[in-house]
């Protein structure tokens, strides 16, 4: 473990203590109410890991509210989510993000000139939940529902830096070591083998980019665990798709100074792993790449073209293969399982994203971007209240 600091303040876990941090958050609860947003698919509601997550969150009595942002396939998923919510001791609401009545409200927004009805995905679910949560909460954390190694420290670590008045942060981002301690294996493949080398290659091509330096200051930019002020959340344009994490970092870059952003060590971290060939992983990589191109166009005025993408493709493959050699050395010295062929095959698969994602971006560079809540409320002032009324059954 190192104690280095980069552009972004890093809070290391040397002696972080749940009792101290939770007591402090509890004492500030009335003045600075905080909550938690958990996006979840209907197909994942019965996941056995959720029981542990609920048990751990129930020890976080400093939380004012938990919002389960549900993408349901139908009423049965919502009923399951409601049963899950009754297991919480902390107040919990299920936000049915694709409920027909919610879609009706968004159709009204479309009539007023702001169309988000064609957009869908994890980002849109989080966007809806953020809008509702910002009505009553000073700040909230966001994390996924498939964390195998979940503990009560996860939301506590995320929220403490932005609630504690002695500090001055708007936004905190979790980072962790993606090691499966049971199988003794490295994961985090999209970060290790795609985003990390891609950022290095882009920095070489652009010579100097403040935005890329900012992204490279985060130990794990693709982490879905973060916390932020509600006020900041209303200023952010959120990608509706699986580019959510990079998209949020990009928007925070536009709306907050370095000094108001931190990252915090979440320790060893494990969640449900997927095969790289699975559509979700490749989609995450592609959506993240599109978000990265869009932000670089906005901040650095890069010219994305087919020759640019071809050059990036070749340079990425070279550097990603160098990274594999480095990870192989690290795994060997730590007695970790490391399948070099599998890593090389992963790079082969991910490299195709540069071409497919690049063409997708050239076709429609802003297709998946949701408007910020300030603009949304200017079009329909009571939309957050309307969504809360329709998405949450009382």
- Select from 127, 177, 137, 55 the least CA-distant residue to 377: 127
Count of domains for the chain: 1
253 within 8 A of 211, measured Cβ to Cβ: yes
The per-residue DSSP string of 150-195 comes to --THHHHHHHHHHH-TTS--SEEEEEEE-EETTTTEE--HHIIIII
d(CA 72, CA 45): 10
pLDDT for position 368: 77
CATH (domain of 185)? 3.90.550.10
Determine the structural domain holding residue 37 and report its residue range. 9-391
pLDDT for position 248: 93
Kind and range of the H or E run holding 36:
strand 34-41
Please count the other Cβ atoms lying within 10 Å of the Cβ belonging to residue 301.
7
| 254 located within any domain | yes
The per-residue DSSP string of 107-129 comes to HHHHHTT---TT--SHHHHHHHH
- Select from 221, 363, 193, 203 the least CA-distant residue to 281: 193
Structure letter (DSSP) for residue 229: E
Pairing of strands 226-229, 171-177: antiparallel
| 330 located within any domain | yes
| 249 located within any domain | yes
| Burial (CB count within 10 angstroms: exposed 0-12, middle 13-18, buried 19+), residue 333 | exposed
pLDDT for position 1: 62
pLDDT for position 171: 98
Q: For every one of its 394 residues, what pLDDT tens digit does the chain have, with 9 covering 90 and above? A: 678 898 899 999 999 999 999 999 999 999 999 999 999 999 888 888 899 999 999 999 999 999 999 999 999 999 999 999 999 999 999 999 999 999 999 999 999 999 999 999 899 999 999 999 999 999 999 999 988 889 999 999 999 999 999 999 999 999 988 787 778 888 889 999 999 999 999 999 998 899 999 999 999 999 989 999 999 999 999 888 888 899 999 999 999 899 999 999 998 766 554 444 456 788 889 999 999 999 999 889 899 999 999 999 999 999 999 999 999 999 999 999 999 999 999 999 999 999 999 999 999 887 778 999 999 999 999 999 999 999 998 6
| 47 located within any domain | yes
| 182 located within any domain | yes
| 2 located within any domain | no
pLDDT for position 394: 67
| 3 located within any domain | no
| 101 located within any domain | yes
Kind and range of the H or E run holding 311:
helix 306-333
């Amino acid at each position: 473990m190192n104690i280095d600091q980069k552009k972004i303040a890093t809070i290391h876990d040397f002696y972080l203590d749940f009792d101290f941090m939770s007591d402090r958050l509890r004492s500030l609860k009335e003045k600075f109410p905080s909550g938690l947003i958990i996006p979840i698919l209907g197909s994942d509601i019965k996941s056995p890991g959720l029981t542990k997550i609920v048990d751990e969150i129930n020890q976080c009595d400093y939380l004012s509210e938990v919002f389960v942002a549900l993408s349901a396939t139908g009423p049965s998923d919502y009923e399951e989510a409601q049963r899950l919510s009754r297991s919480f001791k902390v107040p919990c609401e299920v936000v049915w993000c694709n409920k027909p009545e919610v879609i009706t409200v968004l159709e009204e927004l479309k009539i007023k000139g702001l169309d988000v009805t064609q957009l869908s995905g994890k980002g849109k679910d989080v966007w809806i939940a953020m809008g509702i949560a910002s009505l009553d909460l000073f700040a909230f954390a966001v994390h996924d529902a498939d964390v195998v190694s979940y503990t009560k420290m996860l939301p506590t670590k995320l929220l403490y830096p932005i609630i504690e008045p002695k500090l001055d942060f708007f936004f905190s981002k979790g980072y962790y070591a993606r090691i499966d301690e049971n199988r003794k294996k490295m994961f985090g493949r999209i970060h290790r083998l795609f985003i990390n080398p891609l950022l290095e290659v882009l920095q070489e091509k652009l010579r100097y980019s403040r935005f890329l330096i900012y992204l490279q200051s985060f130990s794990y930019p693709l982490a879905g665990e973060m916390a932020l002020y509600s006020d900041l959340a209303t200023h952010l344009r959120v990608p509706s798709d699986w580019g959510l994490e990079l998209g949020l970092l990009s928007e925070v870059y536009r709306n907050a100074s370095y000094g108001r952003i931190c990252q915090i060590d979440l320790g060893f971290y494990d969640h449900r792993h997927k095969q790289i060939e699975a559509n979700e992983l490749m989609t995450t990589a592609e959506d993240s790449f599109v978000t990265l191109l869009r932000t670089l166009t906005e901040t650095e005025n890069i010219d994305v073209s087919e020759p640019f993408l071809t050059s990036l493709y070749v340079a990425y493959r070279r550097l990603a293969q160098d990274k594999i050699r480095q990870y192989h050395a690290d795994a060997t010295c730590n007695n970790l399982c490391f399948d070099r062929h599998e890593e090389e095959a992963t790079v082969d698969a991910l490299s195709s994203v540069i071409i497919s994602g690049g063409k997708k971006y050239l076709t429609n560079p802003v297709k998946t971007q949701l408007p910020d809540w300030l603009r949304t409320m200017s079009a329909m002032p009571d939309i957050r209240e309307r969504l809360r009324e329709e998405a949450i059954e009382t």
